[in-house]
Chain A
Amino acid sequence: MKKIIIALAMGIAALSATAATSTKFTVNGMVCSFCAQGIEKRLSKMGATKDVFVDLKKKTVAVEAKDGQVLDAKAISAEIVDSGYDVVKIETVLQSVAEIKGELKSRK
């Protein structure tokens, strides 16, 4: 029994270590294609950014970190605010941008 618990714990730890980490921002005022492109362009230039996805309808901006790097949510939030929009919620999730994209699209 003890061996099974240790194996399970190791498996979960390994899974967590390899899972992609993304940060999701809920953004007010982001209503047009040009808004989305401007945000995507600015966030893509940030060093730790691997991928960016913007969903206008869900008011969501998702940013995935490069392997082994940590996203600076405050700096990303500042970039979005500096672009002219308001960040109202920030959450970190163990999902890739591709997974978030799939999830949001399936809800439409």
Chain B
Amino acid sequence: MSMGDVSPNWQEVFVNYALTARDAAGASALVMRSDDGTKTRQFTEATYTRLAKRWNMPESQANIWFIGGIGNITGNDFFGSKTMASPGIQVDYETTRVYVAATARLYRAQGLNHDFASARAGFSFYEVDYDQTQPWFILEVRRMRGLTDKTEVTPMLRLIHNRYFVEFGVNNASQARMNFMYIFD
């Protein structure tokens, strides 16, 4: 699986390989920037994602995911690179029409704290067969320490079709944002 999250202050690409139905190993590269553009960060990490718990219900599914990462961070306001750890947790609930998720992730290195939290909620406009394109409305709220004191709010249009997933939106700072995901065969 490959994923991307692209906006002026946040550019991330992520590749994940499923080892089992519950475990995946991956690698990620993330470039972050402060709102005024004066501070930048580049973070590359190796990741491990684990489905800690799943509840399968007749019309829905709920999950708890553990996300772990470790890598190197560089920035324009300190010399060299630092080792950064990025453990996190995500909980989500989904039906064929509704999606809700909350994520919390620590981004810590010596002298750096870029802890991150996000919440997403949305609904699909109508039901489709799984091989047809399904449009969703998603609202995401996210915040990260150390680079911005603002909470980013982004309404997005999500389209899912076969192995493709894309989201387009404009955040409350009037910046365009695009997310994508592709599931390899």
Contacts and interface: CB of A to CB of B under 8 A. Distances in A.
Given A31-B96, A32-B96, A33-B130, A86 B56 contact: yes
Interface residues of A, number: 22
Interface residues of B, number: 25
Nearest to B1: A34
Contacts of A28: 56-58
Contacts of B19: none
Those 9 A-B pairs whose CB atoms lie nearest each other, nearest first: A29-B56, A36-B130, A86-B56, A28-B56, A29-B61, A33-B130, A84-B21, A31-B61, A31-B96
Contacts of B55: 29
Interface stretch (A13-21, A52-60, A65-73, A91-99): A52-60
Contacts of B56: 28-30, 84-86
A54 B96 CA distance: 13
Contacts of A86: 56
A84 B130 contact: no
Interface string A17-57: 00000000000111111111100010000000000001111
Contacts of A85: 56
B94 interface: yes
A82 interface: yes
A30 B163 CA distance: 16
26 contacts: A28-B58, A29-B55, A29-B57, A30-B56, A31-B59, A31-B60, A31-B94, A32-B61, A32-B94, A32-B96, A33-B131, A33-B160, A33-B161, A33-B162, A35-B61, A36-B130, A37-B162, A37-B183, A41-B185, A57-B96, A82-B21, A83-B21, A84-B51, A84-B56, A85-B56, A88-B58
Contacts of B127: 57
B134 interface: yes
B95 interface: yes
Interface of B: 21-22, 51, 54-61, 94-96, 127, 129-131, 134, 160-163, 183, 185
A28 B96 CA distance: 12
Given A32-B94, A34-B183, 12 more contacts: A29-B60, A31-B95, A33-B131, A37-B162, A54-B130, A55-B129, A56-B130, A57-B96, A84-B51, A84-B54, A84-B56, A86-B56
Interface of A: 28-37, 41, 54-57, 59, 82-86, 88
Given A31-B95, A32-B96, A37 B130 contact: yes
Nearest to A87: B56
A84 B22 contact: yes
